[in-house]
Amino acid sequence: MGSLKGKDILHGNQFSRKEIDVILKIASDFKKELKKKDSLTLLRGKILATLFYEPSTRTRLSFEAAMQRLGGGVIGMGSVESSSVAKGETLADTVQTVCQYADAIVIRHPRTGSAKEAADVAPIPVINAGDGTGQHPTQALLDIYTIKKEIGSLKNLTIAMVGDLKNGRTVHALVELLSLFQTRLYFVSPGALRMPEAITANLKGKGIDVVETEDMMKAASESDLLYMTRIQKERFEDLSEYERIKGYYIIDGDFLGKLKKKITILHPLPRVNEISPEVDSYPGAAYFRQVRNGVFIRMALLAMVLGKR
């Protein structure tokens, strides 16, 4: 593989299977190093700028923690309201400005394609932390990493993705990566929230075994892992439609009791009601470990694009 030094992280499909293996290995190494040492200094003197044009707790904090765990510093735009965006500045100008302060940029923006726009004008690495209904590649990488850590391997897996598959950028990026590993896929959603036809067709074209269904129990009983997603209220224009749909797919003690097999459960969080809190103590409930894995993956990516791994 070529080095990631100076590269942007924009899209789930930019990585080869071999590159993904390297990223996961470096993430694992950092996890071990953090256990052994009180502090790492690999990125001391480096600065990461966070440009978040949309609400986010976990992604921003995860990047900030990753950068600081490696000894680096962080500067952040803060809320859009308190920034020059309010003075009518274009995204390109904001990005070109921030590049003068930092060594890398992580950006979340509501417009699909905006991260690519930023990367086109930035002389420093840009990492896409979610652009509209587009991509969220670091989430996909941490998901892959978590699947491997929880199940032990990425080979011969069957994974059921559940919920809003239409708008969920997380699952869009994830299935791109999973297709490299020939994972069998169940897409479980109400009809109105099905995986976009283009994505499903693309997967089938690659020889991936894809089954679409509305029946979560059936899919779960034939899968190694359930990837749950939130029905995102903010994507609905008609709130009564949201209210009708949000109760469709819920994991609780009752569901797990009927399932009669062990299963791993992931969720990109935040959840609303699709996983009951009583499930948190279930051994396969891996969504908080998934959050922690995000820090290791982002440490790996930051170190790599900054030329230190």
Q: Residue numbers of the site for its own copies (CB under 8 A)? A: 37-40, 44-47, 49, 52, 55-58, 61-62, 64-65, 68-69, 71, 73, 75, 77-79, 81-90, 92-94, 96-102, 230, 232-234, 269-272, 277, 280, 288-289, 291-292, 294-295
Cβ at position 18, least distance to its own copies in Å: 28
* Neighbour-count burial of 251, counting CB atoms closer than 10 A to its CB (0-12 exposed, 13-18 middle, 19+ buried): buried
Compare residues 7 and 235 and give the one whose CB is closer to its own copies.
235
Task: Identify whether the C-beta of residue 147 lies closer than 8 Å to the C-beta of residue 266.
Answer: yes
Compare residues 54 and 214 and give the one whose CB is closer to its own copies.
54
Cβ at position 213, least distance to its own copies in Å: 27
Compare residues 9 and 43 and give the one whose CB is closer to its own copies.
43
Compare residues 139 and 200 and give the one whose CB is closer to its own copies.
139
Compare residues 45 and 257 and give the one whose CB is closer to its own copies.
45
Cβ at position 97, least distance to its own copies in Å: 5
Cβ at position 241, least distance to its own copies in Å: 17
Cβ at position 209, least distance to its own copies in Å: 33
Q: Which of 145, 122, 124, 119 is nearest to 62 (CA)?
A: 145
Cβ at position 10, least distance to its own copies in Å: 22
Cβ at position 278, least distance to its own copies in Å: 12
Compare residues 38 and 197 and give the one whose CB is closer to its own copies.
38
Q: In what order do the strands lie in the sheet with 158-162?
A: 210-213, 184-188, 158-162, 225-228, 264-266
Compare residues 42 and 263 and give the one whose CB is closer to its own copies.
42
